[in-house]
Structure 1
């Protein structure tokens, strides 16, 4: 018998594999619902934080529309907090973002000082940043450039602080 005949007569068993649904599988409709929920949550968080950051920018003399531009809003926040804005871009790079967060915290510290808060107020910003932004955005504090590190925001430079008490001129 030659080799071709042997191969033709031999039988090889083929194993078929089947997959079955287990209790660990996620229903596609549930997965879609989770994705939609995540997107809606992200949009709400973005809008709320942009509104709050816009109010903080207004106190600092920076145009409020800048709070709505992703990454640029972080750049401006760093600048009004006395830090270089490029840390906002570097925060997008893995590993480097650990260094940039330190500069964000320093900027938050300086922003708190400029709005009349104590140095310990930054702890609230580190652990509950949304509460920190709400507090700074809605309270009646005014921006005082003489406190904290000088602002690096171009829009803010040269802005004079309003007097602490209203002045009246008697003629």
Structure 2
């Protein structure tokens, strides 16, 4: 026989599951849009460990560090590395440290602002060097000297 406590527990369990799936879909859509802007394959945002590995790669870390998530205590290390990666990705979208705090506290909102917002990808800062994806500068206005016939 169902008691009110069992029914409430089942309802809360179902609600928790639905909210978890909705949060995962929202996060994957936002990260997918962010990856698209960065020139990365958008489908990588939907694969659970691959999305974190891709963020680590764009942050200048080895993507293999994502394997640390299988060690319970080391999950904190991966979280810190994802936040540092977000800090390194932010300048590529023209944002600063405030967005890093947002990424640390509300990752899905950070990814939504970068993915769905008006920010354009300006370039990556990988391994301490700035890599620009801007088009080549216009050729100089001075015309080249024409060869003279002797």
Partners of 2:126 and 2:98 lie apart in 1 by 16
Q: How many residues align?
A: 136
Q: TM-score, normalised by structure 1?
A: 0.69
Q: Which runs of 5+ in 2 are unaligned?
A: 139-150
Partners of 2:24 and 2:109 lie apart in 1 by 14
Flag the 1:59–1:87 CA change in 2: closer, same or farther, 3 A: same
Q: Is the 8 A contact 1:114 1:144 kept in 2?
A: yes
Q: Between Structure 1 and Structure 2, whose CA radius of gyration is higher?
A: 1
Cα drift, residue 26 of structure 1: 6.7
Pair 1:53 & 2:53 matched: no
Q: Is the 8 A contact 2:122 2:132 kept in 1?
A: no
Partners of 1:107 and 1:26 lie apart in 2 by 46
Counterpart residue number, 1:149: 126
Counterpart residue number, 2:148: none
The CA RMSD measured in Å over matched residues stands at 2.7
Instruction: Output aligned runs, 1:109-124, within 5 Å.
Output: 109-124=87-102
Instruction: Output aligned runs, 1:69-148, within 5 Å.
Output: 69-146=47-124, 148=125
Of Structure 1 and Structure 2, the greater strand share is in 2
Q: Is the 8 A contact 1:81 1:107 kept in 2?
A: yes
Cα drift, residue 139 of structure 1: 2.0
Q: TM-score, normalised by structure 2?
A: 0.78
Cα drift, residue 120 of structure 1: 3.4
Partners of 2:40 and 2:94 lie apart in 1 by 18
Counterpart residue number, 1:63: 41
Q: Which runs of 5+ in 1 are unaligned?
A: 1-24, 152-158
Question: Over residues 94-126 of structure 1, what are the superposed CA-to-partner deviations in whole Å (9 max), with x where a residue is unaligned?
Answer: 111122222111101011111111133201111
Of Structure 1 and Structure 2, the greater helix share is in 2
